[in-house]
Chain A
Amino acid sequence: MMDELTAAERQALDALPRETDPGQLLEERTVRALREKGLLATVRAGGVESPPPAQSPPHGRPWWRSAAAIAAGIALFAGGMSIGQVMGSRQTAEAFQTVFVEGDVRLASQVQRTGSEYVAALEALTAADGTVADSGQAVEVALTALWAAANEIVRLAPDDPLAARILQGFQARAQLMNRYEASNQLLVEF
Chain B
Amino acid sequence: MRAQAVVPTTDRVLAERVANAGDETAFRELYGRHTPRLYQFVLRVLGGDEAEAEDVVQETWIRATTNLGSFRWEARFETWLTGIGLNLSRNRLRRSGRLDELGDEGRRGVEPRGRDERIDLERAIALLPAGCRTVLILHDLEGFKHSEIAEKLGVTEGTSKSQLWSARRHMRQLLGPAA
Contact = CB atoms under 8 A, between A and B. Distances in A.
Interface of A: 1-3, 5, 9, 12-13, 16-22, 26-27, 29-31, 33-35, 37-42, 44, 50, 53-55, 137, 140-141, 144, 148, 180, 182, 184-190
Contacts of A42: 22-25
A130 to B, nearest CB: 21
Interface stretch (B87-95, B110-118, B161-169): B161-169
Given A30-B31, A54-B20, 16 more contacts: A2-B161, A13-B140, A19-B37, A22-B39, A26-B54, A29-B54, A30-B62, A40-B27, A53-B26, A54-B23, A55-B21, A144-B22, A184-B26, A187-B4, A187-B7, A190-B5
Given A22-B35, A39-B22, A31 B62 contact: no
Given A21-B36, A34-B27, A189 B4 contact: yes
B62 A37 contact: yes
Minimum-distance CB pairs A-B, first 3: A53-B23, A41-B22, A54-B21
Nearest to B136: A13
Contacts of A53: 17, 21-26
Q: Which of A18, A40, A144, A185 has the most CB of B within 10 A?
A: A40
Interface residues of B, number: 49
A26 B57 CA distance: 9
B165 A182 contact: no
Contacts of B121: 12-13, 16
Given A54-B17, A144-B22, A148-B22, A186 B39 contact: no
A148 B18 CA distance: 13
Contacts of A141: 20-21
Contact of A189 (B2, B17, B29): B2
A38 B168 CA distance: 45
- Tell me whether chain B's interface is mostly helix, strand or loop, or mixed: helix
Contacts of B179: none
Given A5-B140, A20-B43, A33-B62, A27 B35 contact: yes
Interface of B: 2-9, 13-14, 17-18, 20-29, 31-32, 35-37, 39-40, 43, 50, 53-54, 57-58, 61-62, 65-66, 121-122, 140-141, 161-162, 164-165, 168-169
Nearest to B32: A27
Contact of A30 (B5, B22, B25, B61): B61
A182 B26 contact: yes
A30 B26 contact: no
Contacts of B140: 5, 13
B161 to A, nearest CB: 6
A20 B5 CA distance: 30
Nearest to A186: B7
A5 B165 CA distance: 10
Contacts of B27: 31, 34, 40
Contact of A27 (B9, B22, B28): B28
A184 B14 contact: yes
Given A40-B27, A54-B23, A188-B7, A20 B14 contact: no
